[in-house]
Amino acid sequence: MRIKQQLLPFLLAGCLTTSVQSQDINSRAFQFAEHQTKLLLTETAAAKKELNKPKLLSPRTLDKNGKLVLVSSKDWCSGFFAGNLLFLYEYTGDKFWLEQSEPFVAGMEGEKTDGGTHDMGFKLYNSVGNAYRLTHQLKYKDDIVQAAKTLITRFNPVVGCIKSWDSRKEWKFPVIIDNMMNLELLFEATRLSGDSSFYKVAVTHANTTLKNHFRPDNSSYHVIDYDPETGKVLHKQTHQGFADSSAWARGQAWGLYGYTMCYRETHNKIYLQQAEKIAKYIFSNPQMPADLVPYWDYDAAKLSGQPRDASAAAIAASALYELSTYSKNAKSYRKEADKILTSLYNNYQAQADSARGFLLLHSTGHKPAHSEIDVPIIYADYYYLEALLRQRRIANREPVINTGGLLKN
Ligand code: GLY
């Protein structure tokens, strides 16, 4: 079989045991991502045709038989694939990727009025938000502001938080650490609309979470359940982690990313300090493997046969690049982030033309529910691409957060 010239670098990377150094991986990883994502586009179109369910929009993961799992725009993972396509446009400047993103972005717009979810940021900001950032089309601006209006209907001023889930009988007003990620949408909506109420909700949520979600060692609980009438904390528990008292790996990464982003938006040093404390917890954790890709829960790591969570590593890498631009510990954060990306590139990427076009293997979605264990998951790919973009921007001496425009190669 003849191998196309442009595929050689990552085919070799997948076969050779020698590690490729961080400074070399960036463009190779993007070459690989372009190739794989074309496959994922083809696989997605084929699966939609086969299933004939018009509501299915975008790829989420692979099932136990290796079949592509598609989700509708309602799903919390529905906006990531649009984001991936836009990241490829951002990196390459190739209009092909922008055009490919358009139906996936358009498919998300209707979600802006769904007040039944806290995942508005994951869904709308990562799809429509990226589209607005890169194209400045006015319709996207309106979508972002409407999505923020809908999201703050879930805010309870007595609790000081946005409610995460509605349908869990065991909890009255659950708030999960993941919810920090949805605040980025609110900050952006204030910038776009001039309405400070979104900003105020974001800051109040971040402050309440800071007060109640963290333990003395700076790890975080997954779920805090509040009394909606009094704001009192009723329960400190887990949903996706190993135990109520454990440190679920992705939750720690969401916290790191969330407080870094809150510092960017507010310049409140408390948030910067919290992000640094979380980084310390993660990267000085004795259960962190040498390749910096954690097991799915730091407190389950000692048990035998536990899966890793590549998504947690990708989220943390992206957060660390940003944190490095605000912190005295810039050098060590960049070193850790580079190390994560090198590990992901060398040992967690799928072989070219496999995994139906996903980029990273070995993520864990919901271990206690026996769901999505050691699989590719679309949000791992999203934060991998975002981290690679940030790595590249830092190397180019550009601001790590791109508020608009394409990457200068
Ligand atoms: N709820 C988002 C996650 O599973 O991380």
For 166, the 3-state DSSP assignment is: coil
CA-closest candidate to residue 38, choices 276, 373, 369, 358: 358
Q: State the DSSP H helix or E strand holding residue 57, giving kind and residue range, or none if neither.
A: strand 56-62
- Residue 164, both tokens: 């995460």
d(CA 343, CA 345): 5
Question: What integer pLDDT is reported at residue 166 of this predicted model?
Answer: 96
Distance 250 CA to ligand 1 centre (A): 7
Residue 23 pLDDT exceeds 90: no
Question: What integer pLDDT is reported at residue 12 of this predicted model?
Answer: 42
Mutate to test the pocket of ligand 1, among 257, 379, 382, 383 (most ligand atoms within 8 A of CB): 379
- 183 vs 2, higher pLDDT: 183
d(CA 328, CA 102): 40
Question: What integer pLDDT is reported at residue 22 of this predicted model?
Answer: 60
- Residue 386, both tokens: 């975002």
Ligand 1 atom nearest 254 alpha carbon? 5
- Residue 289, both tokens: 């493997």
- Residue 42, both tokens: 């083809």
* 119 is an active site residue: yes
- Summarised one tens digit per residue, pLDDT across range 237-279 is 999 999 999 999 999 999 999 999 999 999 999 999 999 999 9
Distance 228 CA to ligand 1 centre (A): 23
Ligand 1 pocket, residue 250 CB under 6 Å? yes
DSSP H helices in 302-351? 310-324, 330-343
pLDDT band per the 50, 70, 90 thresholds, residue 8: very low
Q: Are 253 and 312 in contact (CB under 8 A)?
A: yes
Read off the pLDDT of each residue in 14-25 and give the average, rounded to a whole number: 54
Exposed/middle/buried for 234, CB within 10 Å: 0-12, 13-18, 19+?
Answer: middle
d(CA 127, CA 382): 11
**Mean pLDDT of all residues in the chain?**
94
Residue 304 pLDDT exceeds 70: yes
Question: What integer pLDDT is reported at residue 21 of this predicted model?
Answer: 64
Mutate to test the pocket of ligand 1, among 77, 162, 178, 179 (most ligand atoms within 8 A of CB): 178
CA-closest candidate to residue 303, choices 377, 260, 367: 367
Residue 160 pLDDT exceeds 70: yes
Query: What is the SS3 string spanning 223-272?
Result: EEEECCCCCCEEEEECCCCCCCCCCEHHHHHHHHHHHHHHHHHHCCHHHH
d(CA 218, CA 275): 10
Q: Are 228 and 159 in contact (CB under 8 A)?
A: yes
What are the phi and psi torsion angles at 28 (to 5°)? Answer: -65, -40
Residue 18 pLDDT exceeds 90: no
pLDDT band per the 50, 70, 90 thresholds, residue 24: confident
Question: What integer pLDDT is reported at residue 167 of this predicted model?
Answer: 83
Read off the pLDDT of each residue in 290-316 and give the average, rounded to a whole number: 98
- Summarised one tens digit per residue, pLDDT across range 139-154 is 999 999 999 999 999 9
- Summarised one tens digit per residue, pLDDT across range 395-405 is 999 999 999 88
Q: Given the residues 119, 225, 297, 381, select the one marked as catalytic.
A: 119
Question: What integer pLDDT is reported at residue 20 of this predicted model?
Answer: 55
Q: Does domain 5-394 have CATH number 1.50.10.10?
A: yes
Q: Are 208 and 179 in contact (CB under 8 A)?
A: no
Read off the pLDDT of each residue in 169-195 and give the average, rounded to a whole number: 97
Exposed/middle/buried for 196, CB within 10 Å: 0-12, 13-18, 19+?
Answer: exposed
What are the phi and psi torsion angles at 175 (to 5°)? Answer: -130, 125
pLDDT band per the 50, 70, 90 thresholds, residue 407: confident
Q: Given the residues 75, 143, 178, 309, select the one marked as catalytic.
A: 178
Exposed/middle/buried for 232, CB within 10 Å: 0-12, 13-18, 19+?
Answer: exposed
β-pairing verdict for 68-72 and 223-226 = unpaired
Domain boundaries, the chain: 5-394
Residue 195 pLDDT exceeds 80: yes
CA-closest candidate to residue 213, choices 168, 163, 176, 244: 176
CA-closest candidate to residue 318, choices 28, 97, 87: 87
Residue 213 pLDDT exceeds 80: yes
- Summarised one tens digit per residue, pLDDT across range 352-366 is 999 999 999 999 999
Residue 69 pLDDT exceeds 80: yes
Q: At what angle do helices 249-266 and 269-283 cross, to 10 degrees?
A: 150
- Summarised one tens digit per residue, pLDDT across range 76-131 is 999 999 999 999 999 999 999 999 999 999 999 999 999 999 999 999 999 999 99
Ligand 1 pocket, residue 178 CB under 6 Å? yes
Residue 314 pLDDT exceeds 60: yes
| Those residues with Cβ within 8 angstroms of residue 43's Cβ, 6 or more apart along the chain or in another chain | 59, 68, 356, 357
